[in-house]
A and B are shown apart, each in its own frame.
Chain A
Amino acid sequence: MFIWKDILEMSRNIPLHQVILNMEMFETGVDPDEIKEKLSKMLKVILEEAETQYGKKHETLTGMTGDNAFKLRNHTPNFLSKFSYMATVTALSIAESNASMGRIVACPTAGASGVIPGVFNAMVKIFNPTFEEMLEAFIVAGGIGKVIADKATISGAAGGCQAEIGTAAAMASGALTYYIAKDAEKVGNAAALTLKSIMGLVCDPVGGFVEVPCVKRNGNLVNIAISSSEMALSGIKSVIPFDEVVDAMKKVGSSLPQSLRETGEGGIANTQTAKSLVSNLKIFLL
């Protein structure tokens, strides 16, 4: 089981990404180089797909989404930085590709699979890092995801969207922070700040399908990852340590009623428009 406090402790003398690989070896017996190799394959798929899907139109399974990335790509941003804009377009692109049965990396889940590509694609385009630098940041993202998976859950059905896209964003903010600062403490603060801001987000997919509100949540919450990382890099600390934020998130998740955990019965899914959309969808779906 991964606990952030232990990871921090060990990263005093060893780089954070190496600590994470070592801990994984203690748990699974798998050689750190082998884990790293497998992670690098996943990162390659993420980067490849981000490149090919960027700003594309997609024909999604229900048709409720599919042209959002395209719209944003053809728009000149007024407020977003170049980095945030690229991250947002990428996150929407991958989330829409996911909804049209495209190839994705379920990092940490299929529904939340746009956030991590968002920050890594922007990193490539804006900072031009080496693959190794990105891989180290990606390993750190994985470590944060695993702390949440071990202590709480990363499934929307179990813990709401905070556990799914919330985890994705916490992972992304940790990765960004590590890429810039290589500072484990700041990484933990970034992840905690992110998760605190998404605390309580419910899972309410319209009709139960991974499209509305999932696609746009990927696009929006990647920005929480970015701003949290920026705050952490400036030295802002989370008053509540990451481990405790995760514990709190778990408690919030299990106190959510069933209707707000992927059943498609509450929240956005329970609106007038959602209900009439779904009854129209049924005609061609079944």
Chain B
Amino acid sequence: MNLLKVVGPVMVGPSSSHTLGALRIARFVYKFIEGRPEEVSFILHGSFSKTYKGHGTDRALLAGILGLRQDDPEIKNVYEIADKFNLKYRFLFEDLGDVHPNTVRIRVLKDGMTHEVEGSSIGGGDIKITFIDSVPCELSWDYDTLVIVNRDAPNALKSILSTIKVNVANLYLRRVNLLQERALTIIELDEPINNLEEIRKLPCVFECYFIRRDD
């Protein structure tokens, strides 16, 4: 554990796993869909579902999906902020199976598109994003992250990588649907990219999202 992590982070209380981790999962989704959704459902599992209000998990999740930072004193009042933005939100409780006890599945609707992201708060504010649009993955969001849905075809990865000028830390590639020839490529980067549009224009790329990490 590095020194800054021992001494910090700056956050709102009361719990790094139930508050900070929850907020970060939701904020990941906010950045993934590039803004506030019109509708959101939080499907809470395990310990998250049992104690969500007493730990402020509900407000942390709402704050994250509205894009608030982890140390924003307004998090307390996030229900009013959500109403101001006309956000439709629901908290549901479900057994999501054999997953970490602090897990939430977030379903959002924005500009007519639905996305679903599942993540776990694994302690100390660290998170693991485990599903993006039903494709399994394992993201810590410790890196600037590119999520690309691309054609499952020869040379697709090569052409994507050739547009990336910064150092790649980790790379995951998964087939989403063989018949539709779709694959998901997740690339964790040491530095942010500035040519997102170039990647989006590649013929092999269907969808491309860039999720900058928080500093």
Range for the number of chain A residues in contact with chain B: 35 or more
Instruction: Tell me which of B8, B17, B53, B76 contacts A285 (CB under 8 A).
Output: B53
Q: Report A-chain residues with C-beta under 8 Å of the C-beta of B8.
A: 42, 105-107
Q: B13 contacts A110, CB within 8 Å?
A: yes
User: Any chain A CB within 8 A of the CB of B19?
Assistant: yes
Nearest CB in chain A to that of B7: its residue? A142
Contact with A along B14-43 (1 / 0, CB 8 A): 111101100000000000000000000000
Q: Report A-chain residues with C-beta under 8 Å of the C-beta of B75.
A: 101
Bound complex: CA A142 to CA B124 (Å): 16
Bound complex: CA A101 to CA B54 (Å): 10
Q: A210 contacts B13, CB within 8 Å?
A: yes
User: Any chain B CB within 8 A of the CB of A98?
Assistant: yes
User: Any chain A CB within 8 A of the CB of B4?
Assistant: yes
Nearest CB in chain A to that of B63: its residue? A101
Q: A142 contacts B3, CB within 8 Å?
A: yes
Q: A210 contacts B15, CB within 8 Å?
A: yes
Q: Which of A24-75 contact B (CB under 8 A)?
A: 24, 27-28, 35, 38-39, 41-42, 45, 61-62
Q: Report A-chain residues with C-beta under 8 Å of the C-beta of B53.
A: 61, 284-286
Instruction: Tell me which of B4, B12, B16, B72 contacts A35 (CB under 8 A).
Output: B4
Q: A155 contacts B123, CB within 8 Å?
A: yes
Contact with B along A86-108 (1 / 0, CB 8 A): 00000000000111111111111
Q: B7 contacts A108, CB within 8 Å?
A: yes
Q: Report B-chain residues with C-beta under 8 Å of the C-beta of A157.
A: 17, 123
Q: Report A-chain residues with C-beta under 8 Å of the C-beta of B119.
A: none
Q: Tally the A-B contacts, defined by beta carbons under 8 Å.
A: 126
Q: Report A-chain residues with C-beta under 8 Å of the C-beta of B6.
A: 108, 142, 145-146, 149, 154
Min Cβ gap B47→A in Å is 8
Q: B54 contacts A143, CB within 8 Å?
A: no
Instruction: Tell me which of A28, A103, A146 contacts B11 (CB under 8 A).
Output: A103
Q: B14 contacts A208, CB within 8 Å?
A: no
Contact with A along B113-140 (1 / 0, CB 8 A): 0000000000111000000000000000
Q: B14 contacts A42, CB within 8 Å?
A: no
Bound complex: CA A145 to CA B1 (Å): 10
Q: Report B-chain residues with C-beta under 8 Å of the C-beta of A102.
A: 12-13, 73, 76
Min Cβ gap A183→B in Å is 21
Bound complex: CA A48 to CA B19 (Å): 22
User: Any chain B CB within 8 A of the CB of A126?
Assistant: no
Bound complex: CA A286 to CA B75 (Å): 20
- Could you tell me the dominant secondary structure of chain A's interface residues? helix
User: Any chain B CB within 8 A of the CB of A11?
Assistant: no
Q: B51 contacts A35, CB within 8 Å?
A: no
User: Any chain B CB within 8 A of the CB of A109?
Assistant: yes
Contact A100 to B13, CB < 8 A, known contacts A42-B8, A107-B7, A110-B19: yes
Bound complex: CA A20 to CA B4 (Å): 12
Bound complex: CA A284 to CA B8 (Å): 32
Instruction: Tell me which of B1, B12, B56, B123 contacts A104 (CB under 8 A).
Output: B12
Q: Which of B44-89 contact A (CB under 8 A)?
A: 47, 50-51, 53-56, 59, 71-73, 75-76
Q: Which of A105-139 contact B (CB under 8 A)?
A: 105-111, 113, 138
Q: B54 contacts A62, CB within 8 Å?
A: yes
Min Cβ gap B42→A in Å is 14
User: Any chain B CB within 8 A of the CB of A253?
Assistant: no
B residues at A contact (CB < 8 Å): 1-4, 6-17, 19-20, 47, 50-51, 53-56, 59, 71-73, 75-76, 123-125
Known A-B contacts: A102-B76, A105-B7, A110-B14. Give 19 more (CB < 8 A).
A35-B4, A61-B55, A62-B54, A101-B14, A101-B56, A102-B13, A103-B12, A103-B71, A105-B9, A106-B8, A106-B125, A107-B7, A110-B20, A113-B13, A146-B2, A146-B6, A155-B123, A207-B54, A208-B54
A residues at B contact (CB < 8 Å): 20, 24, 27-28, 35, 38-39, 41-42, 45, 61-62, 97-111, 113, 138, 141-143, 145-146, 149-150, 154-155, 157, 207-211, 281, 284-286
